[in-house]
Structures are given as structure tokens and as C-alpha cells.
A and B are shown apart, each in its own frame.
Chain A
């Protein structure tokens, strides 16, 4: 597997800028997948390409939890995602079904489920799998990180 930077370099060689959709299945910390996705996203934008959408699914939904508390000398993936999303106005969708099962809720959903409070980080939207289908049909490339 080439590194994310090498992959982005590969795509840089194509003539036209492309719009990528990223499907992120891996949680923060446990595996490398989400960290690779973040690096790929940065490299994509740095190479002049666009990001059509981030779609967090499966255990990837934990990347959108504000309750993730990294050790002080380690990076917090959820915080870094949020910074990238804000800086580049990226469309980021968290699958509502996958998130609800895993305890990632916005305020509205928390109220609906009778929970004490929401924990979805600002900048992400809770929505359905239709947003993944839309990304798969409209983005130039979809890359799965899982």
C-alpha cells in the first residue's frame, strides 16, 4: 500500500483536478485507518484536488465524538478532523444509524433517545447512507479507509 502522500502524488500527475470522497471506517487510536485518511485528505487538498465529502461509517463514527480525550502528548484525531473540516469548509457526514448504535449523537438525537447530552463535534452532519451513495455516484474517486 503506497503512503497517502505517495497516493496523492500519483493523482497529482493527472491533468485535471479531481474530487475525492473518503469513506472512513476505522476509529481513532485503535487502528491506522483514520489517521491515514486524515493525511490523505490533507495531501489531496495540498495537491490542488477537492474533497467532495467525508463519510464516517462503521467504527469511523467515533472520529466525530467530542468525548474522545487523547493523552496530552498525543494527537487527537477528532480535533484534527474538525480543524481540517472548518479550515476547508469540507462536507462531512456521519452515518446516523452507525453513530446512534455506537453512542455518537447530536443534541436532537440525544433528546429523542432519552440520553443526557449529545457529543457530535460541530462541523459534522448526522445523515443517512444516501449521502454515501450520492458521493459514490458523483465524486471522481472514492477511497475507503478501514
Chain B
């Protein structure tokens, strides 16, 4: 079996992409747990919220009503876990009639910035 070359340049960065709504499946929650593990292990880590994933950041959500942990509250705590960047796709917000005032974490970027983010090399992308 082929083994990886050992002369790697810098350590790979990890980008976790959140594409699904916060509840209804455990993807958002378990994705966030993966983010926390990346931060805890000192990996250079960033997060991108896109498509339905932007709902995860909605300030006005009451997850106690369905006995779940609040995803927006967990997301807003990410900087405490050494997560470098939290990006939010501007088009996804606009398509859902949301704006920066509705979300409680992240930096809003244009679709072309998102494309650059996804295309850059030396990065592992995990999709949730």
C-alpha cells in the first residue's frame, strides 16, 4: 500500500463546512464536536457556514423546546477553542432573507471568497 510522502510542507489546515440546518439531524452537533476536537489538538482550523448551514447561527432559536443543545450558543463559543476563522456565506444568508443582524457568530464573506477558501491547497475539508 502506498505510504504518504514524508517531506510535507506545513501542517495541513482543516476547514469544516456546515451545510445543514441545526436540528432535524445530529450533523450540526456532531460537526461542532469535530471542530472542538480540531481546536483541542492544535490544528489550524476554520469553519464555513453555507446553504442551510447558516440557520445554525440564527440568534433567535430556542432549542430547549425540543430538548437539544443550542447550536448558535455553541458556535459563538468557538473562538474560545482556538478556532481561527468562522466564515459565513453572504449569498446563503440573502437567499433566506437573513442578514448579519440575525446571526450571532462569524464573518460574512462573498461567494467568490468562499470559492477561494474551498479551492486553496494544503487544506483538508470535512463536510457536515
Q: Which residues of A contact B (CB under 8 A)?
A: 16-19, 21, 23, 25, 45, 48-52, 57-59, 88-89, 97-98, 128-130, 132-134, 136-142, 144, 146
Contact = CB atoms under 8 A, between A and B. Distances in A.
B77 interface: no
A25 B4 contact: no
Given A130-B41, A133-B37, A138 B14 contact: no
Contacts of A141: 124
B11 interface: yes
Given A137-B12, A138-B4, A25 B128 contact: yes
Given A48-B2, A136-B12, 5 more contacts: A21-B124, A58-B128, A133-B43, A142-B125, A144-B125
B118 interface: no
Contact of A50 (B2, B43, B128): B2
Contacts of B38: 133, 136
Contacts of A19: 2-4
Nearest to B42: A133
14 contacts: A17-B2, A21-B124, A45-B1, A50-B3, A57-B34, A58-B26, A129-B37, A130-B37, A132-B34, A136-B38, A137-B43, A140-B4, A142-B125, A144-B127
Contact of B1 (A23, A88, A136, A144): A88
